Amino acid sequence: MIYEIHLYVPKTGTLTPSMLEWLFENGQRADQPERFWPVRKLRPKALARLMLRLDPTLQPVQAPGGDVELYYSHTDLGIVMYAHDRGIIIFFPYMAYNALTRIVLGICYTYIRFLYEAAGFWSYDPQLNVLSYADDFQSIEDTVRLMNELAPKLLAESME
């Protein structure tokens, strides 16, 4: 069970729920004209280099289509960033009542804050349905609360 947070750079300086809806409906289609896209086109390799300047311990791996995966150096934490031509998705495992939860979230939100400050990325947490221009301590607390509520339920369902 993987938690994910999506990061995008809006073309207009703001990102709205309707823009995100368009992205999730049309983001996989290659036939959409650039003027319709609410987020900037990015270079995944340049984005990976930016992240490596922040954290040189990240392990880059070439992904399909010129995308790049960045693995956190301590693989047991399960943090992976997927850089694609429209943004980054940060993946990490659901953890309920785990001491590592706050450590993992702290690392992820450090990356999110860096991307906001360095390049204007906004984040979208689809699990909480929260759109933010810069995540903060409250977002970490909300994520921890959601994990503590959902992870036991998801684990029980997966065992059935």
**9-67 per-position pLDDT tens digit:** 999 988 888 999 999 899 888 899 999 999 999 999 999 999 999 999 999 999 999 99
**What pLDDT does 3 receive?**
87
Q: Where are the domains of the chain?
A: 2-159
Residue 156 has pLDDT above 70, yes or no: no
Does residue 8 or residue 14 have the better pLDDT?
8
Residue-level pLDDT at 54: 94
Tell me the C-alpha to C-alpha distance, in Å, between residue 3 and each of 11, 65, 120: 26, 23, 22
Task: Please give the mean pLDDT across all residues of the chain.
Answer: 85
Class of domain 2-159: alpha beta
pLDDT band at 153, cuts 50/70/90? low
Q: Helix 100-119 to helix 44-54 angle, to the nearest 10 degrees? A: 120
**Which of 29-33, 83-87, 127-131, 136-140 is the least confident region?**
136-140
Amino acid symbol at 135: D
Q: In this predicted structure, what is the pLDDT of residue 90?
A: 96
The CA distances from residue 15 to 39, 79, 80, in Å, are 8, 25, 24
Instruction: Report, as an integer, the average pLDDT of 126-155.
Output: 66
Q: Please report the sign of the dihedral spanned by the C-alpha atoms of residue 118, residue 115, residue 106, residue 73.
A: negative
Contacts of 140 (CB under 8 A, 6+ apart): 102, 105, 106, 109
Per-residue pLDDT tens over the stretch 78-116: 999 999 999 999 999 877 666 677 788 888 988 998 999
Exposed/middle/buried for 135, CB within 10 Å: 0-12, 13-18, 19+? buried
Distance (Å, rounded) from C-alpha 146 to C-alpha 130? 12
